[in-house]
Amino acid sequence: MTRTLQQNKRFHALIGLRKLDNEEKKALCLDVSNGRTDASSELKVEEMDQAIAMLEGQVVGSVKKMRAKVINVARDIFGMVPRDEWGQQQYDALNAFLISKFKKPLHHLDYRTLVDAVTAVEKWRDSETKKMVKALIEK
């Protein structure tokens, strides 16, 4: 079932409030429909609910949590404890990795990509751990 009239009104009010242009609106529609459509008129009820939630900022907290999780896993890679300073060097290394995998730095990744980024960074950490263990064994 396509979006309801009430959802449509709320969606377009939020689009206006957030001052999104047509391209940003299309990108949002593509995102919530998993690439199925870029037209809000073709969104399903659940997809429109997700778009409205994103516009209302309810997903912002989740995005921040996922970014923090990526950074925390990266801290393991760099051998940092939580109280250590997260410096530009570490941030640049993390972004270089993310750009190589996802073509975007950390602060440009959407929620779905951040979920994949957590997995990728965890694999990176596991790979680095294996290398370290192998080097210790070979000594």
pLDDT tens per residue across span 80-120: 666 667 778 888 989 999 999 999 999 998 877 898 999 99
Question: What is the per-residue pLDDT across 37-56, written as a single tens digit (0 to 9) for each?
Answer: 999 999 999 999 999 988 88
What is the pLDDT confidence band of residue 1, given thresholds at 50, 70 and 90? confident
- SS in 3 state form for the chain? CECCHHHHHHHHHHHHHHCCCHHHHHHHHHHHCCCCCCCHHHCEHHHHHHHHHHHCCCCHHHHHHHHHHHHHHHHHHCCCCCCCCCCHHHHHHHHHHHHHHHCCCHHHCCHHHHHHHHHHHHHHHHHHHHHHHHHHHHC
Instruction: Say whether pTM exceeds 0.85.
Output: no
